[in-house]
Amino acid sequence: MKRLKQWIIVPTTLAMLLANAGLLHSQTAQSLTPGFNALKLEGTSTQGNNCQVANIQPQYTITLEQDFGSLNFSLQSAGQSALIIEPLNSAGEPVASGRQCVLAAAPGQTVEAPGYWEKGNYHIYIVDSAGGQSYTLSISQ
């Protein structure tokens, strides 16, 4: 009987660990095609140092189904946040040389990354030196 109780604990503990691991590594994936309705994403920033993304999970993965002649990423945050957009290669690995980082000059300042964006996948990070700052990320044409 004692052995049976131990076997009940093991699967339950394993299930809880796997569920928590999924939460820690979860991110929102969005796929955009020309003509999409403006997108507003809300969350809290990750603690980070300016434009560095080492050991940080992206908050979002955006897939652009086609080239966008005009696309704007706009970040409004209570903190002094940075918006980091990092393209991924065909193997899904980050291409650091294509990374764009826009820093807020002051707390609460809106930062924007407008322009031409090529078809592909991008990781989006919102970082702040303190972390935990609420933000709204808007993506529009």
Reported as a single tens digit per residue, the pLDDT across 59-112 is 999 999 999 999 999 999 988 999 999 999 999 999 988 999 999 999 999 999
Question: In sequence order, which residues have a C-beta less than 8 Å from that of residue 42 and are 6 or more positions away?
Answer: 134, 135, 136, 137
Question: Is 90 exceeded by the pLDDT of residue 22?
Answer: no
Question: Is residue 83 within 8 Å of 75, Cβ to Cβ?
Answer: yes
Q: Dig out the tokens for 65 from the structure.
A: 């189904």
- Assigned fold of 29-140: Jelly Rolls (2.60.120)
Global pTM? Answer: 0.78
Residue with tokens 């394993």: 14
